[in-house]
Chains A and B, each alone.
Chain A
C-alpha cells in the first residue's frame, strides 16, 4: 500500500512508449492499435459469452422452439404449394429469422455498456475509438456463427439437408453472416438511440415483424397483397430465398423479380443497409460527446 507503487509507471511513460504505440504515431501504427484494441474488446465480449453460456441458450431458444413447432407441430398441416415438404422449406427460413433477430443482441449490448458507464470509460482511454464499435461487431459475427453452427446441427438432426455443393452451402452461410454484418450497424444505431435498458426490450416489437413478415415461414404470394408486398421486399426474405436456392431446398418463388434475383438481392440489401446505417451509427456514437 506504499505510495511508491502507485507511481510504478513513470509519469512521462506514454502508453506503449516502449512498444508500437503513441497517440500521434503514423497511420500504420494507428491501424495496428485499431486492430489490437478491437481484439481486446472482442476478447472481453467473448469472455461474456463464456461466462454466461445461458445467453447463447436464450438466443437459440426461440429458433429451437420454432424448429419444433414448424417441423413437428404445424409441419404436416402447412401447405406452401407445389408439393413442397414444409420442414425443408421452413428450415432455411429459421436460419434467416435467427440472424434477423441479431440486431437486438447488438442493440442491447450497446445500451447496457452505455448505461453502465463502460462506454464512457472506453472513451476516456487512449485507445482507438473505432474499437468500441468494431469490437462489438466482430464479437457479434462470431456469436452469430456459433448460433448458426448450433442451429445447423439441430437442423441436420431433424432431417434437414443441404443439397447444394459445399461451396454453395458455405456461400449460403456467408450470405447469412453478411446480413448479420449489416444488422450490426442497425443494432448500434438503435442501441445508442433508445433512452435506456428498460426500453430496449421494446425492440422485440421491431424484431418480430422484421423477422416474420417475410418469406421465412410462408411464401409472400400466399399473403394478402399489401402484406405480401412488404414481405417480398423484406431483406430477410431475400436472404431466405437466396439460401434456399444455394442449399438446393425448395423455394416456391412467386415469380416476381425480387424472388427471381434472391441471391443478388441478398447481397445488395446488406450493402445498402450498411451504407445507410454505418454512417448513422458512427454519427450517433460521435454525438455522445455533444
Chain B
C-alpha cells in the first residue's frame, strides 16, 4: 500500500500536501482543481474524494469536465490550480509513481490498431517494465480473462467495438492497478458489449481495485457505483450514494392503476390515507392511475392493497417506485441527462 510508505519515500513527501494528509482509506483526493482553456473554464474548483476499494461514478453532461478530471488524475494534464493525489502521491509532483499505480481506459480504446491483441498487451507489459517473460505470461492471462484468447493472434483492426474496449481494459490492468480510471467505458457500445464491460468492472471492484468511472448514463452509475459525484460546469454539485442522491429528490412513491375509471375516487381515498404528510394523491383519469409520495414503503403498499380488495376494486397494477437518477439529475442541474448536451470540448 502506497500510503504506508517506507522511510525513503516519506522524505520525498510534503506533509502539507493532499498526499500527506490523505487518510489511508482514500485512494483519490482532489481539492479545488482548476483548469482553464482559452475559451472556457473546464474545471472550476472541483473537489473529489474516492474511498479505497469503491467504485465511484463521475456523472455529468457532455462538457461538464469529467474527462478533464480524469486526465489530470492520470497525469496527462496539469491543473492550473488546486491539488490532486492518487494512491498516496501528488499527481504533479510524482507523476511517475502515480503512473506505476494506475490504469487508464477510455472511450477511445487506445490500443494499437495494427498489432494483434497479444502484441498490444506484450508491448504495454514491456512498457510497464515487466520484462519480456512476465509480459508474455501476463498477456496470456489477460487475454484469457477477457475472453480474447481466440482473437489473440488477430490484428485489432478486425476486432468489434466491444472486443477493442475489452482489450483496452485489459491493457489498463497489466499491473493490477490500485486505481483504475475509466473514461466513459461504455459510450458507443451495444448492450451486450456494455454488459461485458460492466461485468469486468464488477469483478475488479470485488477484487479490491478502486475504480473511478465517468459516465453520462445514469443507469450505468446507478448499477456500478458505490458513490456518485454529479459534476456540472467544472464543479461537484452533489455527492453521495445513489440511494442518498435519490432521497434528496424525495422518497418512494406509490401508484395504483385501476381496471375501471369509475373506481378512481375509491383509490384516491385509499392512497390519501397512506400518502406522506397529507399530500393529495394525483389522479389521472385517462390512465386510470392514482399516485402519491409515501414514507412507509411496503406497509403503505399492503394497506392500499387490502383496502382496495375489501372494496372490491379491480386493480391492474400496484407498486412502489423509487425516483430514478434521471429525476435526481434533472433536479440538480435543471436539465435532463445525456444525449442532449453539446459536444465535449476537452
Residues of A within 8 A of B (CB): 1, 3-16, 19, 21, 23-24, 33, 36-37, 40, 43-44, 47-48, 51-52, 116-118, 120-127, 131, 288-290
Contacts and interface: CB of A to CB of B under 8 A. Distances in A.
A124 B99 contact: yes
Contact of A6 (B124, B155, B173): B173
Given A13-B175, A16-B130, A124-B76, A6 B97 contact: no
A37 B127 contact: yes
Contact of A11 (B77, B131, B173, B176): B176
B33 interface: no
Given A11-B176, A47-B114, A124-B104, A5 B145 contact: yes
A8 B173 CA distance: 10
For the complex of A and B, 10 pairs with smallest distance between CB atoms? A117-B110, A23-B96, A16-B129, A3-B207, A15-B129, A117-B108, A121-B110, A126-B100, A126-B99, A127-B127
A11 B124 CA distance: 18
A118 B141 contact: no
Contacts of B74: 124
Given A11-B178, A124-B99, 20 more contacts: A3-B204, A6-B173, A7-B207, A7-B209, A11-B176, A16-B129, A19-B131, A40-B123, A44-B115, A44-B119, A47-B119, A51-B115, A51-B155, A52-B114, A117-B109, A121-B104, A121-B124, A124-B76, A125-B99, A131-B127
Interface residues of B, number: 48
Contacts of A7: 176, 207-209
Contacts of B127: 37, 40, 122, 125, 127, 131
A37 B209 CA distance: 27
B110 A118 contact: yes
A41 to B, nearest CB: 8
Contact of B129 (A5, A117, A126): A126
Contacts of A3: 203-204, 206-207
Contact of B126 (A13, A40, A288, A289): A40
Contact of A5 (B78, B131, B141): B141
Contacts of A4: 207
Nearest to B174: A9
A115 to B, nearest CB: 9
A112 to B, nearest CB: 9
Interface of B: 1-2, 12, 71, 74-78, 96-97, 99-100, 102, 104, 106, 108-115, 119, 123-124, 126-131, 138, 141, 145, 155, 171, 173, 175-176, 178, 203-204, 206-209
A14 B100 contact: yes
A23 B127 CA distance: 12
Nearest to B134: A9
A288 B12 CA distance: 26
B81 to A, nearest CB: 14
B249 to A, nearest CB: 35
17 contacts: A6-B145, A8-B138, A8-B176, A13-B175, A15-B128, A21-B129, A33-B129, A44-B115, A47-B115, A51-B114, A117-B106, A124-B75, A124-B76, A124-B102, A125-B124, A126-B128, A289-B77
Nearest to A52: B114
Nearest to A113: B112
Contact of A9 (B78, B138, B171, B206): B138
A48 B76 contact: no
A24 to B, nearest CB: 7
A47 B124 CA distance: 14
Contacts of A123: 75-76
Nearest to A16: B129
Contacts of B138: 8-9
Contacts of B131: 16, 19
Nearest to A15: B129
B1 A12 contact: yes
A288 B127 CA distance: 20
Nearest to A132: B127
A70 to B, nearest CB: 34
A271 B119 CA distance: 36
A122 B255 CA distance: 53
Given A117-B109, A121-B110, A11 B129 contact: no
Nearest to A19: B131
A49 to B, nearest CB: 10
A127 B110 CA distance: 16
Among the interface residues B97, B108, B114, B141, which one has the most CB atoms of the partner chain A within 10 A? B114
